[in-house]
Amino acid sequence: MNTQAAHRPSWAEPYKIKSVELIRMTTREEREQAIREAGYNTFLIRSRDVYIDLLTDSGTSAMSARQWAGLMMGDEAYSGSDNFYHLQDAVREYYGYKHLVPTHQGRGAENLLSQIMIKEGDYIPGNMYFTTTRLHQELAGGIFVDVIIDEAHDPASRHPFKGNVDMQKLDQLVQKVGADHVPYISLEGNVNMAGGQPFSMANLRELRSYCDQHDIPIMLDATRTIENAWFIREREEGYADKTVREILREICDLTDGCTMSAKKDLLVNIGGFFACNDEEIYRKAQNMVVVYEGLHTYGGLAGRDMEAMALGIEEAVMEEHQAARIGQVRYLGDKLRDAGVPIVNPIGSHAIFIDARKFLPHVDQDDFPAQSLAAELYLEAGIRTMERGNVSAGRDPETGKNRRPALELVRLTLPRRVYTQAHMDVVAESVEQVYLRREQIRGLKMIYEPEYLRFFQARFEPLT
Ligand SMILES: Cc1ncc(COP(=O)(O)O)c(C=O)c1O
């Protein structure tokens, strides 16, 4: 890596702060009221009642001055906006896909992909589910099958590429149902639900050759693939001297298309896209996007949003940006680990995941330990986090029972370029305080359960 950042052990940010947003501190009484009113669901707390917001890294990044300036360059023509062509050029250059269809965010692209490629009764293998991705696959009549390696389900395993596909699991599925019933494999970079864990290039190459033999396309969830590229450079033999940009391109060249939530890697507050190389799939996506999102040259976005996204791609592949991004996440993770707090290892790129099963071994999974812990962290210091466990996993459509996933986690997700090292210290101190009184924490009872993606709007009550 040929930059100044490479020669320092520290991870200082490659920017200075020009404008700040004031945040409010609350009293314990105010937080008790806020969490009660939110039904003990951190998604339902008003942001004005939050001190440090680690709910998500989605759409929460700070844009750069040049991105804000880019907003003023928005060409708000209904059709053929200049910003669309700028974005298309950037996607072609950095990701390498020929065709681009913008969408309002990632799930808009997932809807297009699922509706176009999945037939009733098809099977979609993937390296662990993501909530919206799997739901769109199911709504299109498909059945998701998890083919990630077993290590991904073990928070203690130090496997460097826990996002890898288990080729045997994949082959077993293909042998069982036939390649004709596998419309594509859904491959996610830096697997969110596994703790932000990357796949390796070697694994992707093996997957490519398998898929070529069986004529199965690989569709990438590119949401955090730039961060995945960083880990490949850091951990995989032969990549130490490559740039993140080169590795990103190599990943995409081994795949057939992607869905993208630009709200993560790409440093924007809204946006996404579907991209592919195949002409026919592109035509279908172009046709379908007008039903759900808007014309194929804006897909639910304003011209200015596409401009900010095109500029965001350039900033996201900068080595210094990724060094600081991943450095900050590690700083927090190391502090928690040193304090004995059980977290998912290795530390991923976008978040620290606390192992709520280990943190609260006395709370049964159907009493939602991760949800309870997230509520408790908010009560302690106004820190907002997210449950990624039994609530997020939802119910098995066949049995109607909670899925009780192996991973019962609380996600402390770091927005990009937003908080300082001192904020991380506050977070670490607060988690430690809760850890010291963990035995007093009880579970929750769900009193309202929405039909889809229940974690967003479910309501709970403390168990007495
Ligand atoms: C891996 C992954 N895929 C897809 C999505 C969905 O994207 P969006 O929230 O932009 O609809 C997300 C969002 O969190 C994600 O993390």
Q: Which of 124, 219, 223, 455 to mutate to test the pocket of ligand 1 (most atoms within 8 A of CB)?
A: 223
Side-by-side strand order, sheet with 99-103:
99-103, 272-276, 257-261, 218-221, 185-188, 123-126, 143-146
> Annotated catalytic, 298?
no
Q: Which of 107, 191, 386, 456 to mutate to test the pocket of ligand 1 (most atoms within 8 A of CB)?
A: 107
> Annotated catalytic, 388?
yes
Q: Report the separation in Å between the CA atom of 441 and the middle of ligand 1, taken as the mean of its atom positions.
A: 31
Q: How confident is the model at residue 397 (pLDDT cuts 50, 70, 90)?
A: confident
**Which residues, in sequence order, are bridge partners of residue 388?**
409
**100 is written with which tokens?**
């681009």
Q: Report the separation in Å between the CA atom of 58 and the middle of ligand 1, taken as the mean of its atom positions.
A: 7
> Annotated catalytic, 78?
yes
pLDDT tens per residue across span 188-214: 999 999 999 999 999 999 999 999 999
Which one-letter amino acid corresponds to residue 436?
Answer: L
pLDDT tens per residue across span 296-315: 999 999 999 999 999 999 99
List of residues 6+ apart from 236 with CB closer than 8 A: 160, 161, 200, 201, 202
pLDDT score at 340: 97
Instruction: Tell me what the pLDDT averaged over the chain comes to.
Output: 96
Kindly state the percentage of the chain with pLDDT values over 90.
96
Atom of ligand 1 nearest to the CA of 262: 10
**C-alpha closest to that of 264 among 255, 273, 251:** 273
Read off the pLDDT of each residue in 262-266 and give the average, rounded to a whole number.
98
Q: Is 295 exposed, middle or buried (0-12, 13-18, 19+ CB in 10 A)?
A: middle
Q: Return the residue whose CA atom lies nearest to atom 4 of ligand 1.
A: 106
Is 122 a pocket residue for ligand 1 (Cβ < 6 Å)? no
Catalytic residue among 122, 166, 221, 256: 221
pTM for this one?
0.94
Is 131 a pocket residue for ligand 1 (Cβ < 6 Å)? no
> Annotated catalytic, 243?
no
Q: How many helices (H) and strands (E) does the chain have?
A: 16, 14
Catalytic residue among 60, 131, 133, 385: 131
Is 272 a pocket residue for ligand 1 (Cβ < 6 Å)? yes
Q: Report the separation in Å between the CA atom of 350 and the middle of ligand 1, taken as the mean of its atom positions.
A: 13
